[in-house]
Structure 1
C-alpha cells in the first residue's frame, strides 16, 4: 500500500511538473510573439539585431515575469530613477519605452559603430557583456545564447 501511495505521489509530481513546464514554454513563446514586432522595428531603427534585443529582454525580465518587468515595465534591468518605488532600477511608462531605452543605451557604446547593421548575434552579445552590461559575463552570455537558440530568434534578423 505504501509503495502504491509513493508511486502515485511520484506520478502526480511528474504530471504537475510537466504541466508547469508546458505553461512556462507557452508563456515564453507568448513573450516573444508579443514583442517580436517591436524588436524588429527597433532593429531597423538602431541596427541592432532583433535576436539580441529579444534574447536580452527575455533573460533580464524572466520573459516578462520579473518584478521589475511587471511593476517598472523595465525589461532590461536598466538602472536609474523611477517614479514607482525605491528601487535602483528605472521605471518606464511602457514596455516599448524600456526597449527603446535599451537600444539607445547600446547606441552610445564604443562597439556600436563597429557592429551597427551586423547580424552576428555572438559578436553583439560578447561586446555588450565585455562593455560591462552584466556583472557575470560568462553566465549572462550563456543564458542569452541559450534563449536565442531555444527560440530560434536569429530567424528574425
Structure 2
C-alpha cells in the first residue's frame, strides 16, 4: 500500500514538472528582407592624368599665345583699300624705305615722316593691292598727262586709272615730283619741315585724299611709329620722343617672315646664328612659313 502511494506521488510530480516547461518552436517564421533605399548622388569626375596634363598644357599655350599677341599687335590701314597689318610688318616697311624717305626730304623738302606715313597708309605697309600689282605706294592716280603704265582699280569710282611703276622706289620719286609740280600743293612748302601735323592737314585741304579723316589717320601713324625721328635726323635737330599711349618702339624683337626668307638670310640680316634663332623660336627643323613671327632679339 505504501508502495502504491509513493508511486502515485512520483507520477503527480512528473506531470507537474512537464506542464511548467516552455514551449520550444522547431520552425522559424518566414524572413522578410528589408527594402533597400537607393540614393543617386552624382559623383564629381576625377580627372585622369592625361586630362590634367592636357589642361595644364592648354593653360600654358594660352599664356604663350597671349604674350605673342601682345608682341604682334595688328591694326587696320585704310586708304585706297582696307588691309590688316601687324606691328612687325609696319616696322619692316619702315626699315626698307626710311632711307629713301630721308633722301627725298633732302632733295624735295617733303618731311620724311609725311613720306613714310603716307607710304604706310596708302600701301597698307606694302601689302595692299596697288602696291602689289603696280608698286604704287601712294595711291597716285593717272591724271592728265600720264603716259606711263597703269592699272585699273575701284576707288572713289569703278575701275579708276592708277599709275604703275617698275620698282617701289620709282613710286617714292614720283610722289615727290607729284607734290612739287602742282600749284595747289605749293603752300605746303611754306610750312616748317618738322611740322608734320600741318603737313597732314594741308595735304587733305589740297585734295590729296577724299577721306575726311585722312589727316587724323596720317598723324596717328607718324606718332605711333615715331616717324618724325627721321625729320630730326635730316634737319640735324634734337629729337624729342613723343609721349603717346599708342607709341611703338622701333626696337621690336619680332620679325615677320616674307617671301624668299630663310633661316640663313634672317640670321645674317639680324646678326644672329641659325642655332640661336631656332632656339629662341622653338624650331626643330630648318622650316619657316610665310607670315610667321620670329623672335630675333
Give the TM-score of the pair, scaled to structure 2.
0.45
Equivalent in 124, 149, 152 of residue 86 of structure 1: 152
Aligned-residue RMSD, C-alpha: 2.9
Which segments of 5 or more consecutive residues in structure 2 lack a partner in the other structure? 1-54, 75-84, 154-160, 232-297
**Quick check: 1:64 aligned with 2:130?**
no
1:54 corresponds to 2:128:
no
Q: How many residues are paired up?
A: 152
* From 135, 153, 157, the counterpart of 1:73: 135
Structure 1 residues 85 and 53, CA gap change in structure 2 (3 angstroms): closer
* Cα displacement (A) at 1:109: 3.3
1:61-109 deviation digits (Å, cap 9, x = unpaired) = 0111101111100000011166464342110111111111111111123
User: Secondary structure, in 3 states, of the residue corresponding to 2:222?
Assistant: helix
1:27 aligns with 2:89: yes
Query: Any runs of at least 4 consecutive aligned residues in structure 1 with deviations exceeding 3 A, and if so which?
Result: 14-17, 81-87
Q: In the alignment, what sits opposite 1:98?
A: 171
Structure 1: gaps of 5 or more residues: none
Between 107-116 and 117-126, the greater mean CA deviation after superposition: 107-116
Preserved CA contact (<8 Å) 1:47 1:118: no
Higher normalized helix content (fraction of residues) = 1
Aligned to 2:223: 149
Decide which moves more: 57-66 or 99-108: 99-108
Task: Give the deviation of 1:44 after TM superposition.
Answer: 0.5
Distance in 2 (alpha carbons) for counterparts of 1:45 and 1:114: 15
The alignment partner of 2:183 has SS state of coil
SS at match of 1:143: helix
Q: Is 1:130 matched up with 2:205?
A: yes
Aligned equivalents of 1:114, 1:86: Cα separation in 2: 30
**Contact 2:136/2:163, CA 8 A, preserved across alignment:** yes
Displacement after TM superposition at 1:142 (Å): 1.1
114-123 or 126-135: which moved more?
A: 114-123
Contact 1:47 1:116 in 2 (8 A): no
Aligned partners of 1:84, 1:114: CA distance in 2, in Å?
A: 28
Q: Return the structure number with greater relative CO, CA threshold 8 A, min gap 6.
A: 1
